[in-house]
Amino acid sequence: MATIDKGAAPAFEGTTTGTVRNVDASVQEHDLRSRFIEIRKGVSGGLDLTQASVIVSGGRGVGDAEKLDVVRELADALGAQLGASRAVTDAGWLPHEHQIGSSGVTVSPKLYIACGISGAIQHTVGIKGSGYIVAINKDADAPIFSVADVGVVADLFEIVPALTKAVNETNG
């Protein structure tokens, strides 16, 4: 069986051909180690980060739930979706559906902006399909810079509001 995470790669555009090869693999019910019980729908606010073309994410470096507004304002200015690291969702600053990474969602936006995110492997594995990654972190040695196309070593509370202002001015 082959499977791929939703959003792990950009959708293939065009046509391709393939052939289906049937493999005889008869399985008796008593061979199965798992069994179907029921389907339960998860509770979600309807956010689907896998389809977002621009995502601005906040990490623990933001500090607390209220200060996430700084990141949210940049996302709003760019018409982007708001993402987060697990540190943020575990702390309850944002619901789980915003979490990106190995135990969250895998995303492939054209632009991904990480604010105050260290770049643990469990997070970066979820953003590998991004077209362009911008990282803002005050620690020059943060691992996020090894996957970023543009790295800004700075306090996010200086850079992010300045970016938001510039985007809003450009938007007129």
155 binding ligand FAD? (CB under 6 A): yes
Work out how close the CB of 2 gets to ligand FAD at its nearest, in angstroms, rounded to a whole number: 23
142 binding ligand FAD? (CB under 6 A): yes
Instruction: Choose between 44 and 79: whose C-beta lies nearer to ligand FAD.
Output: 44
Tokens at residue 162, please? 């300045």
Figure out which of the listed residues 70, 117, 147, 163 binds ligand FAD, where binding follows CB under 6 A.
117
Cα separation of the two ends of the chain? 51
With contacts defined by CB under 6 A, name the span among 4-12, 34-42, 75-83, 95-103 that binds ligand FAD: 95-103
Nearest to 162 by CA among 85, 76, 73, 84: 73
Residue 153's beta-bridge partner residues?
137
Interatomic CA distance for residues 97 and 66, integer angstroms: 18
Nearest to 96 by CA among 43, 17, 168: 43
Q: Which of residues 75-94 bind ligand FAD (CB under 6 A)?
A: 85-87
Q: Which residues bind ligand FAD (CB under 6 A)?
A: 59-61, 85-87, 99-104, 116-118, 120, 122-123, 136-139, 142, 155-157
